[in-house]
């Protein structure tokens, strides 16, 4: 299979989120992409000749499957239990919607998938959130992409459309514990959403085939390595 290193088309699903917002900016700025397609429930307040936007209904496969054609799929959709209101609704967004999108992209011949998962993702976890993330990862790995890159960030730092009080508290606790324990909890240290976006775009340009999983502390290190980010 011949994989393009330039003049690529990027598809992003979840551009209105905290990571997705940064992703759109980096993709539009990247010389490796000639076209960026955003699929979502609402239009982004961004104007660019490279940007193509489509309003879709995640419950209706036909509204988005035809648009999932290109080179690299950036999948960043997700919700919270507070917003979803129930485990069933949460699973519908974080598992069903995400997997259906990935399946459509795979069937349409897209080459690379860049997925935002979460630290602690494990299909056998007793924690519901982590279990759903793990189940999604397992299902994604069965798809026929040339390469799959799974990013497992810890708590994300950055402006969000909605308030997440629990995460705000966790950020403070995480920073405090990191100071007290001298970095022993690096795996769970909060990470900037912008850093995750940079890492995703950078790794997509390396054209590594196969399945790759990046823990949160690896993503953190990218912010300290400017050379790696120049690949964007």
Can you tell me the distance from the alpha carbon of 62 to that of 51, in angstroms, rounded to the nearest whole number?
Answer: 21
- Answer yes or no: are the C-beta atoms of 41 and 67 closer than 8 Å: no
Distances (CA, A) of 210 to 146, 207, 213: 6, 10, 10
Structure token digits, residue 16: 């209105």
- Answer yes or no: are the C-beta atoms of 168 and 80 closer than 8 Å: no
Which sequence positions are flagged as catalytic? 129, 133
Q: Cα Rg for the chain, rounded, in angstroms? A: 17
């Amino acid at each position: 299979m011949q994989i393009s290193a330039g003049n690529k088309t990027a598809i992003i699903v979840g551009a209105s989120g905290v990571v997705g917002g940064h992703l759109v900016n980096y993709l539009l700025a990247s010389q490796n992409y000639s076209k960026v397609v955003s699929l979502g429930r609402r239009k982004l307040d961004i104007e660019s000749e490279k940007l193509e936007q489509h309003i879709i209904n995640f419950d209706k496969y036909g509204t988005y499957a035809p648009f999932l054609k290109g080179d690299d799929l950036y999948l960043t959709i997700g919700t919270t239990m507070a917003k979803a209101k129930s485990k069933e609704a949460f699973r519908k967004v974080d598992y069903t919607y995400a997997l259906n999108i990935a399946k459509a992209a795979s069937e349409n011949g897209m080459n690379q998938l860049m997925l935002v998962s979460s630290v602690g993702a494990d299909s056998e976890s007793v924690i519901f959130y982590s279990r759903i993330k793990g189940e999604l990862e397992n299902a994604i790995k069965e798809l026929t992409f040339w390469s799959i890159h799974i990013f497992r960030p810890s708590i994300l730092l950055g402006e969000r459309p909605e308030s997440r009080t629990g995460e705000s508290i966790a950020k403070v606790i995480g920073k405090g514990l990191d100071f007290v324990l001298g970095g022993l909890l690096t795996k769970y240290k909060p990470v900037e959403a912008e850093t995750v976006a940079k890492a995703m775009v950078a790794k997509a340009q390396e054209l590594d085939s196969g399945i790759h999983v990046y823990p949160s502390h690896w993503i953190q290190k990218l912010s300290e390595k400017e050379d790696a980010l120049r690949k964007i």
